[in-house]
Amino acid sequence: MFELQLKEPTFLYNSIGIISDFIQEATFEISKDGIEMKAMDPANITMVILKLLPSAFSKYEVKKAEQITLNIDNLKQALRRAKVTDTLTLTLESNKLKMVFEGKSTKSFLIPLLEDSKKKKEIPSLEFTSKIEIEADEFEDYINDAAIVGDAVTIEARPDSLIFSAGETSSKVNIKLEKDEDALIDIDSKEPSKSIYAVDYLKKMARSNKIAGTVKLQFSKDYPIRLDYKALDKEQLSFILAPRIENK
């Protein structure tokens, strides 16, 4: 059993809203160390990883570890009803997640728990040659720029620069960040890395700039990319996206 209380339910709504673009249902592991969720999208192209820290909650009481599986859209729709000034309390009641919003009035929602698929999702062990941190707002801009001219974006890391490019011969975009530019916070590229990714997936992920001011990109040549958005003392929302292999 558990009792969790949030004085900022909108921060949870932002995370669940982004996750809902990828998955329909997910299992949340609730323990004394926090809440963790790992899920694959139906196409098995991307993994979504959410970690909520106990310090994000004004009250965090977990008597024993629990696993609850929920329909993500149902959860999002209930969270949408929260006002900025509301306090959200989460408990279990009769095999349902009980959500109580307290503000100028008290509202209660009950969301039925689903049967766990029992298919455990493990975070893949990946070795990256390039690790970069950039401003999250800028990253969203670059992906939106790429979306104007194509459905895929090439991301290339060199020892002192990061390059985004997209498009064909007629319409193209090229964005280059040098090591000393403000948007490029940190770059560690052991060797030149270049890989292609689907723009529509990255556009959805880039909306996570609501959660954190920076994003960490990790990738290698023709390799999955991992994006990490970390809100200090609150949460980390991460994505692992498979590369798009072009026919040569």
Would you place residue 66 in the very low, low, confident or very high pLDDT band (cuts 50, 70, 90)? Answer: very high
> Which amino acid would we find at residue 216?
K
Q: Of 119, 83, 90, 81, which Cα lies nearest the Cα of 6?
A: 90
Given a cut of 60, whether residue 213 has pLDDT beyond it is yes
Among the ranges given (133-137, 177-181, 243-247), the one the predictor scored with the smallest mean pLDDT: 243-247
Instruction: List Cβ neighbours of 74 (8 Å cut-off, separation of 6 or more).
Output: 111, 112
Mean pLDDT, all residues of the chain = 94
Provide the pLDDT for residue 48: 98
For 111-131, write each residue's pLDDT tens digit: 999 998 767 778 999 999 999
Domains of the chain in sequence order: 2-112 (3.70.10.10), 130-241 (3.70.10.10)
Would you place residue 71 in the very low, low, confident or very high pLDDT band (cuts 50, 70, 90)? Answer: very high
Average pLDDT over residues 15-43: 95
Where b means 16+ CB within 10 Å and e means fewer, 222-232 reads ebbbbbbbbbe
Provide the pLDDT for residue 15: 95
Given a cut of 90, whether residue 44 has pLDDT beyond it is yes
Provide the pLDDT for residue 11: 87
Residue 243 has which token pair? Answer: 């590369």
